[in-house]
Amino acid sequence: MAAVMAHKGHTVVGVDVNPEYVAAINDGRPPVEEPGLAQMISVNRVRLSATPDYEMAVLNTDATFIMVPTPSSEDGRFSMRLVLAAAERIGAALKQKDHWHLVVLSSTVMPGSTGGVLAPALEAYSGKKCGQDFGLCYNPEFIALGTVINDMLRPDMILIGESDPRSGKTLELLYTGVCENNPRINRMNYVNAELTKLSVNTFVTTKISYANMLAEVCETLPGADVDVVTQAIGCDTRIGRKYLRGAMGYGGPCFPRDNVAFSALARANGVPALLAEATDKVNRRQAPRLAEMIRSHVAADQVAGVLGLSYKPHTGVVEESQGLQLAQALLSAGIRVVVYDPAAMDNAKAKLGGNAIFASSASECVRQADAFAITTSWPEFARISPGDLKRTDGSVLVLDCWRMLDRAAFAPVCDYRVIGEGVDSAAERGSAVSALASHTR
């Protein structure tokens, strides 16, 4: 956000308690990995700086965005501990300001938190009145690691929960000058905005789990192909194609915990959380299901491979990664495991320790494996060739979860499988897809 705002001409002061992050920004370097971020920071250094000093930052700016973590508690709810710690420092700075200032909370929180917890804290620490002496908005982002910059510049929508019309309008005008498209700007009260944020992610995870459940059903029906089915049902505008693909489960720092938090919210208010709980249950089934496919194939002295440890391509984040969970499940079953990921090896080593074999490339990983699964759709995995296989006598199991490999090249030399196909569907796949294409035309 700091880089994007600076890129659009705003003077931005970043605040962080981590001195290494502050130093990186001031040196013109990104403190985290994200495509395009290094160049954007470097080009806009004149407008972008960082400091550990809350007071200096608040006194010299017009708006403050709070983007601290909100860790999940044992019951699944989000903790406001770090938000309130930031609010104390922000409020103390606001106390010294003689003009109006806008505070924006972007962290994901439980419904009722902005107005019920944050606003009173800011008022107490500043001695000022929210909606009068300062403004407060809840403004979560809808971004995905690997495409953050594009998601910020070209969002589907902007969501604003406002303390008062002035605050909402000020934030709306800010985004109007930042966004390169013309997104729908939804302004509402705090609780509706907080609930909208949780609802979006819960609905998306439901689509993912539905597609994965459908894939498992297809595997039991000769001739069935989840790709053919999802392509067709996705044409219905009531459903849509996005996130409707039978493959691996969802992971990362947002989807899993947001779904659990929604369940906790419903239960706390006496509402059955059946759909959210089922979505989570289906998702937690995916890695063990894949592990059982591999476990039933490899002998005691053989090696299983996992290609993809980040939860999605173009990021090194392994939080709730399906590939990492698969590797852990196989290791727990006493199977030797070789792994590879283009960006997540260091993060994965912290989770797997010395239990796994860490290959230096995708081809090296494949050469050591008697069975392997492609669990993250990194583009480079599509370049694996049959010549990389440990053997080409048909005995190596290849689970192409994202359908990245050339079936015609691999099927003759290995036990090639994809998620979501019935046993006899390979021969019928071409005619089924052709029929769909003909009908669509």
Which CATH number applies to 2-199: 3.40.50.1100, 3.40.50.720, 3.40.30.10, 3.10.129.10? 3.40.50.720
Instruction: Give the integer Cα–Cα distance in Å for 372 and 393.
Output: 15
What per-residue confidence (pLDDT) applies to 345? 97
The yes-or-no answer on residue 401 being catalytic is: no
Across 250-259, b (16+ Cβ under 10 Å) vs e yields bbbebbbbbb
Q: Pseudo-torsion of CA 157, 37, 312, 331, nearest 10°? A: -140
* Phi, psi dihedrals of residue 261, rounded to the nearest 5°: -65, -40
**pLDDT tens series, the chain, 441 aa:** 999 999 999 999 999 999 999 999 999 999 999 999 999 999 999 999 999 999 999 999 999 999 999 999 999 999 999 999 999 999 999 999 999 999 999 999 999 999 999 999 999 999 999 999 999 999 999 999 999 999 999 999 999 999 999 999 999 999 999 999 999 999 999 999 999 999 999 999 999 999 999 999 999 999 999 999 999 999 999 999 999 999 999 999 999 999 999 999 999 999 999 999 999 999 999 999 999 999 999 999 999 999 999 999 999 999 999 999 999 999 999 999 999 999 999 999 999 988 999 999 999 999 999 999 999 999 999 999 999 999 999 999 999 999 999 999 999 999 999 999 997 644 444 444 444 444 444
What per-residue confidence (pLDDT) applies to 424? 67
- Asked if 93 and 55 count as a contact pair (C-beta separation under 8 A), the reply is yes
The fold of the 201-434 domain, in CATH, is Rossmann fold (3.40.50)
Q: How far apart are the first and last CA of the chain?
A: 42
Spans of all domains in the chain = 2-199, 201-434
- Strands in 371-374's sheet, in edge-to-edge order, are 357-358, 336-340, 303-307, 371-374, 397-400, 415-418
Name the residue type at position 245. R
Pairing of strands 134-138, 415-418: unpaired
Decide: helix, strand or coil at residue 257: helix
Side-chain half-sphere of 235: how many Cα atoms within 13 Å?
10
Q: What is the largest CA-CA distance in the chain?
A: 78
Q: What is the pTM of this model?
A: 0.89
Side-chain half-sphere of 422: how many Cα atoms within 13 Å?
15
- Write out the two tokens for 199: 């609802």
Catalytic pick among 137, 218, 254, 365: 254
The answer to whether the 2-199 and 201-434 domains have the same CATH topology is yes
